Structure formats: C-alpha cells, structure tokens
Structure 1
Amino acid sequence: MTTIACLHTAAGNIAVFDAACPPEAQLTHVLREDLLKDAEASGGLTPEIAQRTAAALEALATPGIDAVLLTCSTIGPGAAIARGAVPVLRVDAALADTATRRGGTVIVLCAVETTVEPTRAIFAEAAARTGATIDVRLVPNAWAAFRAGETARYHAIVAAAADGAFADGATEVALAQASMSGAVALARGRKPLASPPVGLAAALAAGGR
C-alpha cells in the first residue's frame, strides 16, 4: 500500500480526492486554506507564499509517507522548491502531461484568476514536449459561485464551458483546478480531464518506486 499525503487549500477537495483514490493507495490530508486566500489577496503567488507552501509540503514528508501531492494549482510552483525525502508532486503537472500527450489543441479551463498564470506555465512546459497548442481560459462567474457555496451551479458553469471548448475544436479539455471535477459528469458530450485521478496515479507511481 502506497501512502500519499495531500496538501489542500479547499476543504471540499478532501472528499474529491478520497473518491478518486485508487485501491492500492491510501491518503492523508492537510488543509491550508490560508495559502490560497493569501494568494488571492495578493493577486497571485508571491515568493513568501511559495516558501510557506514549500515548508508545508516538506512537513508532510514524515515516516510512512511515500509521496506528497499538492492539490492547489494557484500555489503549484511552491512544489518546485520543496525538499523532502519523498517525491513532492503538483497535481496540475500530471494533468498537463496527460492533456498534452496527443498534441493538438488543448483548452485549459480555470475558475479563479490567480490560477491562470501558474497553469499557463505548467501546461506550456508540457506542450513543448509534444507540440500541443495551449489555450488557457478563465471561466466567468465560476469562482463566485464556488465561494458562495453554490457547488452545483459552479460545476454546471464549468461543464458548460467544457462543452463550449470542445465545440471550439479542442483536442482535449482540461480542468485546471481539482474543485472543478464535479463538472465532468455534467458535460454533455466528450468528457474533460480532471486532475485528481491523474495526479493520484502520478503520485502512486512516484511513491511506489
């Protein structure tokens, strides 16, 4: 059994990752809502918040933990400066690798503005390896619904945006934030990619080495 420690910035994502967890893995969870809230208040990730994120990730690499997974895309770059005895991964890196694997046009949907630039960077890095074209889009009104606790409306807004992205000719549509995962079941046509399953698979592979 591989044990993966997850660092979340939204409480609702704990259940999302538990639901996506493969049977050969078990998860532990730490919630740090302050990291995302501070990033939003600052207009994006700052060096200080990145350092706090790295410290939080390093603190999860305790005995018995095989891999650490950062589930928030806004503070994702903090994973790059984390140092630990076990692999430290960011969930959106795995999503970017999977979404760009076949090349073509990949439309990436973000719900919150602070996620746009970190998402653009990680997807551009993956796209450079496959020749994919990246189009990162902010879904209007989605984050307001999320922050208001209107989860069903949030997922419906994201699902409609995913349907529109495929209608625009996307080869693949990726949902940049784990909290968007509930939109997959609501999409009317092709299903967009959500990050929890692919992120957990990557962490499982890394932790099982």
Structure 2
Amino acid sequence: MPRIACLHTSDGNAAIFDAARDTARLTDVSLHHTVRADLLAAAEREGGLTPDIAAETVAVLQGLCAGADAVLLTCSTLGPAAQDAATGATVPVMRVDAALARAAVKAGGRVVVLCAVETTVAPTRRLFEDAARATGAAVEVQVVPHAWAAFKAGDLDRYRILVARAAVAAREAGATRVALAQVSMAGAAALLPEDRRPLTSPVVGLVAAARAG
C-alpha cells in the first residue's frame, strides 16, 4: 500500500485529507499525518517564511521521507520549503498547492486566488504566476477580510461563509477561475452550487502525490 506522509500546520487538515482520499477513491493509499502548528505560528509572528523557519520545515519534511513513498506539505505559507526539501530527498516531496496552481491556470483567463492569511500571499503569488507563464493566465491574489480571525477564533462556519462570499464576489467581478489557496478554506466550496465552486487543493494535491509516489 503506497504511503503518503503529510505535514500539516493545523489539526483539522488531517480530516480534510482523509476525506479527500475517499473523494479521489485512493483506497489503496495510506496517509500518515504530522501536525506542526508551531511552524505556521512562527511564520505569522515573523510576517512570513524566514530562513530559520524554512530550514526547520525542510528538516521535518526530509525526516518524513523515511518509510514514505511521497511527502506532501499542506501549508501554503511554508510551501517554498518543499522545493528545498525535495533536493536530495529519497522520495518526492511536494507542496499541495502546486497541483492547484496548474489546474487553475490551465485554461488561461483571469484567475483569482483567495487566501485567508497574509503570510500565504507572497508564496502563493509566486507559485501561481510561475504556473501561469505557460498558459498566459492573469493571476490576482486576494486576502479574504476577517476570515483568518474567524478561523483562529474557532468560528469555522463564519470562516467558510466569508470565503464562499469572496469566491462569489470574485466571479461577479469577472474572474474566469477562482482558487482557494489554503487547505483550511476547502470547506467553503461546498456552500456554493456545484457549477460555481472554486478550485480547492486537497483532492488535486493528494492525487498528484499519489501519482508521484
């Protein structure tokens, strides 16, 4: 049974990826979850991913390679560390939002990427703009006001509602595709009609990791 080791920075993400495995029908894949909320908390205190935080993230990711067929980093703020960790790693080390970026820009057009926390903006913009070079898509990254405060307060219903409203507003403002940058935002998609749902990362990211492993 293929084994994917997931590094999360939120306890709730483990359940999201277990559900994503079922949605993607990856019944033959075993998921192993490691949660390091302290890494994201440190990045928030520092205003972003610092070299020290990146180095610690790389060390954790490379440590997870033992016994795994692939390693998946599920935190967008820490995302750039996955590339460094992949260098010399014994198995593929991936960031969950890489597959999301490729899917979002595939058809070109105007792509709006929604983030909940400021520390995610810079790494997300770089990732999506890099992917967009191959398709000519125009990428715009937006922060959903008040969403992260609701998440940190434990008000997940309000969190999802704010994200869903922002996705609707982006579509009404002319976006051809809307993507939710952070794993924790994925539940907001279910609040919208199926044909208006934004793209989310858990399923596409997990499928990419399963294929790579």
Q: TM-score, normalised by structure 1?
A: 0.96
Equivalent of 1:152 in 149, 157, 162: 157
Tell me if 1:44 matches 2:48: yes
- Residue 9 (structure 1) aligns with: 9
Shift of 1:120: 0.2
- The correspondence of residues 3-152 of structure 1 with structure 2, limited to 5 A, is 3-21=3-21, 22-63=26-67, 65-82=68-85, 83-152=88-157
| Amino acid of the structure 1 residue aligned with 2:95 | R
Task: Give the C-alpha shift of residue 171 in structure 1.
Answer: 1.2
Asked if 2 retains the 8 angstrom alpha-carbon contact of 1:8 and 1:14, the reply is yes
CA distance in 2, matches of 1:143, 1:24: 34
1:160·1:187 contact (CA, 8 Å) conserved in 2?
Answer: no
The number of equivalent residue pairs is 206
Rounded Cα–Cα distance in structure 2 between residues aligned with 1:46 and 1:87: 23
Q: Supply the distance in 2 between the matched residues of 1:153 and 1:170 (Cα, whole angstroms).
A: 23
Deviating more after overlay: 185-194 vs 137-146 = 185-194
The structure 1 segments of at least 4 consecutive aligned residues displaced by more than 3 Å after TM superposition are: none
SS of the residue corresponding to residue 52 of structure 1 reads helix
Aligned partner letter, 1:48: D
Residue 198 (structure 1) aligned with residue 201 (structure 2) = no
Question: Percent sequence identity over matched residues?
Answer: 59
1:126 Cα deviation from its structure 2 partner: 0.3
Unaligned runs of 5+ in 1: none
User: Distance in 2 between the 1:176 and 1:119 partners?
Assistant: 7
Distance (Å, rounded) in 2 between the aligned partners of 1:180 and 1:142: 9
**AA aligned opposite 1:198:** V
Q: Counterpart of 1:10 in structure 2: which amino acid?
A: S
SS of equivalent residue, structure 1 residue 129: coil
Is the CA contact 1:162–1:187 (under 8 Å) kept in the aligned structure 2? no
Which AA in structure 1 matches 2:51? P
Q: SS of the residue aligned with 2:178?
A: strand
Shift of 1:3: 1.2
- CA shift for structure 1 position 187: 2.0
Distance 1:147 1:13 in 2: 14
The alignment's TM-score, normalised by the length of structure 2, stands at: 0.95
Instruction: Look up the equivalent residue of 1:70 and give its one-letter code.
Output: L
